[in-house]
């Protein structure tokens, strides 16, 4: 059978693979200064946020991505007080971060106000953390912001879209240098670094550039499966001068926090840093 | 944009999600006594084997599935001499098994000769192991075969399609009992047990039934991401009275074997048994 876009929410990746969910209704569809922002009600995976035709999240699998972006670093950092999220306008990463009482401030720097407004309205559970009193939401360019705030953050999360359009600068060496400079002593940064299967060149280039900035042995790629992303297997890269998320020490999850998590466990954290053979070989050739 | 089936090889899962690859040519398309067997040349992931409209493998990601089906059990078993594969007519699992010099016999029991013939012709690298002199290929019903061969195998791999059509019996308790009975003392069986995300009910039911047959503490679900399968995250379940793939002991991969592997590593084996929180909770409620 064929799939038509009146019934199916279709993401075509590089004109060679596609993922689709049947949808019931289109809830939001506007073009901002930066991109096309859409929210659909799907049959199977709840609501879906789509930016420029690409799945950013569905209600059903959003927790996998957000938990894996946030909790490995939060477990590894001894005292993460001040956190910066660049991108992440859906609020999902912030909603995970504010679960930690020890966090004193969270700054969300999202370039596109429309994403935040649409998610607050149509994905309120995912965006809930944005209402926490410790959170400040800024609508600014992330690269410029981070450049102007050296030495301020214990943790910086780069929750970007793909390296085309507004997020292109968030995959450049100069940006990675600014992120490193914006960390406080002993801090860490985590970058979403695309699919090591379907976008292996982008992944390898990003990890290579990060290794150039943070040092070869201070860059820790890790992996999780996000069903609505091309290739399913997705990568994140944790970078830190001092923190080692593999050897630890890592703090344990509190029972209260653990109950709120859908994907992340201590075991999953340890497992996530195991790279498939083809990834390990490609990284070691760099 | 819409996707048409003249250019796209589309698998629709339960009329609610879909995965598609653009294809160049259809190489094979026939209906056997059991199912529709098709092989396509795709643009992105090499050739794809499709049974009754479902992706079984692509050349690009087949190694993930076959390596993860075979090597965890082969590492955990002290002396796997006689191996049975039920289903697996593409030959991919057998091709992994014959990499071990210590294996003395491999029996492939595939109900559909057309699958084997088509894969030998159009997917020769994946099917290569079928030509190993230790391999016997039988075109029989797997459930009947295993029932008639009690106590004969050190390892049984159930490489089935989904529990509809010809593979339905391979998800029934009576079949699981026959598999257990067909193991030699200290043997192990591995079952593909579907997606814990997109087919969580089938997964949980299969693991529940296996626990009923092998015992709660002798059933070890594990996970890998297969991009062309619905939901990406896929499960396998290892069952054994004596072997413990988590606590070990597990033998190390020989350097010669390691070089041939695209996905599996010792680290991946240890990591694969970590269950996402939602899977762990669902399993503990059973």
Q: Rounded to an integer, what distance in angstroms lies between the CA atom of residue B264 and that of residue A211?
A: 25
- B188-229 per-position pLDDT tens digit: 999 999 999 999 999 999 999 999 999 999 999 999 999 999
Of chain A, the end-to-end C-alpha distance in Å amounts to 43
Cβ atoms of B225 and B234 within 8 Å: the answer is yes
Task: Give the chain B residue nearest A273 (alpha carbons).
Answer: B271
Average pLDDT score over residue span B108-125: 98
Contact flag B227-A276 (C-beta cutoff 8 Å)? no
Predicted pLDDT of residue A279: 96
Of chain B, the end-to-end C-alpha distance in Å amounts to 43
Distance from the Cα of A40 to chain B's closest Cα (Å) equals: 14
Most A CBs within 10 A among B3, B48, B229, B281, hence the mutation to make, goes to B3
- B42-54 per-position pLDDT tens digit: 999 999 999 999 9
Q: Rounded to an integer, what distance in angstroms lies between the CA atom of residue A51 and that of residue A195?
A: 17
Distance from the Cα of B233 to chain A's closest Cα (Å) equals: 6
Question: 3-state DSSP call for residue A201?
Answer: helix
For A122-136, give one letter per residue: b (16+ CB within 10 A) or e.
bbeebbebbeeebbe
- Return the closest-CA partner of residue A185 out of A69, A81, A100, A86: A81
Contact flag B268-A277 (C-beta cutoff 8 Å)? yes
Task: Give the chain A residue nearest B46 (alpha carbons).
Answer: A16
Q: Active site residue: A159, A162, A185, A241, which one?
A: A159
Structural domains of chain A ordered from first start:
8-57 (2.30.140.10), 62-284 (3.40.50.150)
Partners of residue A267 in chain B, C-beta under 8 Å: 274-275
Most A CBs within 10 A among B13, B16, B199, hence the mutation to make, goes to B16
| Global ipTM | 0.95
Distance from the Cα of A234 to chain B's closest Cα (Å) equals: 10
Contact flag B18-A19 (C-beta cutoff 8 Å)? yes
Predicted pLDDT of residue B32: 97
Nearest to A267 among B258, B274, B278 (CB): B274
Predicted pLDDT of residue A1: 78
Partners of residue B273 in chain A, C-beta under 8 Å: 271
- A153-192 per-position pLDDT tens digit: 999 999 998 888 777 888 899 999 999 999 999 999 999 9
Cβ atoms of A130 and A137 within 8 Å: the answer is yes
- Return the closest-CA partner of residue A188 out of A72, A102, A24, A88: A72
Q: What is the dihedral of CA B49, B52, B55, B58, to 10 degrees?
A: 0
Q: Rounded to an integer, what distance in angstroms lies between the CA atom of residue B39 and that of residue B117?
A: 12
Question: 3-state DSSP call for residue B274?
Answer: coil
Contact flag A2-B2 (C-beta cutoff 8 Å)? yes
- Return the closest-CA partner of residue B158 out of B121, B213, B201: B213
What DSSP assignment string belongs to B53-118? TEEEEETTTHHHHHHHHHHHHHHH-S---EEEEEE-TTSHHHHHHTT-TT--EEEEE-S-HHHHHH
Average pLDDT score over residue span B234-252: 95
Predicted pLDDT of residue B132: 98
- Return the closest-CA partner of residue A146 out of A164, A138, B222: A138
Predicted pLDDT of residue A203: 96
Q: Mention every residue, 6+ apart, whose C-beta is less than 8 A from residue A163.
A: A170, A171, A194, A202, A206
Partners of residue A61 in chain B, C-beta under 8 Å: 197
Q: How confident is the model at residue B163 (pLDDT cuts 50, 70, 90)?
A: confident
Q: Rounded to an integer, what distance in angstroms lies between the CA atom of residue A187 and that of residue B118?
A: 56
pLDDT > 70: what percent of chain B? 100
SS3 per residue for A141-187: CHHHHHHCCCCCEEEEEEECCCCCHHHHHHHCHHHHHHHHHHEEEEE
Q: Rounded to an integer, what distance in angstroms lies between the CA atom of residue A7 and that of residue B115?
A: 34
Q: Is B112 a catalytic residue?
A: no
Report the mean per-residue pLDDT for chain B: 96
Cβ atoms of A132 and A159 within 8 Å: the answer is no
What DSSP assignment string belongs to A203-231? HHHHHHHHHHHH-GGGEEEEEEE-TTSTT
Q: How confident is the model at residue B89 (pLDDT cuts 50, 70, 90)?
A: very high
Tell whether the model's pLDDT for residue B166 goes beyond 90: no
Question: For every one of its 286 residues, what pLDDT tens digit does chain A have, with 9 covering 90 and above?
Answer: 799 999 999 999 999 999 999 999 999 999 999 999 999 999 999 999 999 999 999 999 999 999 999 999 999 999 899 999 999 999 999 999 999 999 999 999 999 999 999 999 999 999 999 999 999 999 999 999 999 999 999 999 999 988 887 778 888 999 999 999 999 999 999 999 999 999 999 999 999 999 999 999 999 999 999 999 998 999 999 999 999 999 989 999 999 999 999 999 999 999 999 999 999 999 998 7
Q: Beta strand pairing status for B233-239 and B183-192? A: antiparallel
Task: Give the chain B residue nearest A3 (alpha carbons).
Answer: B3
- A202-232 per-position pLDDT tens digit: 999 999 999 999 999 999 999 999 999 998 9
Q: What burial class does residue B101 get, using C-beta atoms within 10 Å of its C-beta: 0-12 exposed, 13-18 middle, 19+ buried?
A: exposed
Q: Active site residue: B90, B112, B159, B162, which one?
A: B159
Distance from the Cα of A177 to chain B's closest Cα (Å) equals: 31
């Amino acid at each position: 059978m064929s799939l038509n876009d009146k019934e199916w929410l279709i993401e075509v990746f590089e004109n060679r693979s596609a993922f689709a969910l049947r949808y019931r209704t289109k809830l939001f569809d506007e073009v901002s200064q930066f991109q096309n922002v859409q929210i659909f009600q799907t049959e199977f995976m709840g609501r879906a946020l789509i930016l420029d035709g690409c799945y950013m999240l569905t209600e059903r699998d959003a927790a996998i991505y957000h938990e894996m972006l946030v909790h490995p670093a939060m477990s590894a950092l001894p005292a993460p007080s001040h956190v910066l999220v660049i991108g992440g306008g859906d609020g999902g990463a912030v909603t995970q971060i504010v679960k930690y009482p020890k966090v004193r401030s969270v700054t969300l720097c999202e370039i596109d106000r429309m994403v935040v407004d649409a998610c607050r309205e149509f994905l309120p559970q995912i965006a809930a953390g944005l209402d926490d009193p410790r959170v400040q939401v800024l609508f600014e360019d992330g690269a410029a912001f981070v450049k102007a705030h050296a030495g301020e953050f214990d943790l910086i999360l780069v929750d970007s879209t793909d390296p085309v359009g507004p997020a292109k600068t968030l995959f450049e060496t100069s940006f990675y240098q600014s992120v490193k400079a914006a960390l406080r002593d002993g801090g860490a940064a985590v970058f979403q670094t695309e699919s090591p299967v379907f976008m292996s060149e982008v992944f390898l280039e990003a990890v290579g550039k990060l290794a150039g900035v943070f040092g070869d042995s201070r860059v820790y790629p890790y992996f999780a499966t996000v069903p609505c992303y091309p290739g399913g297997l997705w990568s994140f890269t944790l970078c830190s001068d001092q923190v080692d998320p593999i050897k630890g020490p890592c703090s344990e999850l509190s029972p209260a926090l653990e109950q709120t998590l859908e994907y992340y466990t201590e075991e999953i954290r340890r497992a996530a840093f195991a790279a498939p053979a083809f990834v390990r070989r490609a990284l070691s050739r760099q």
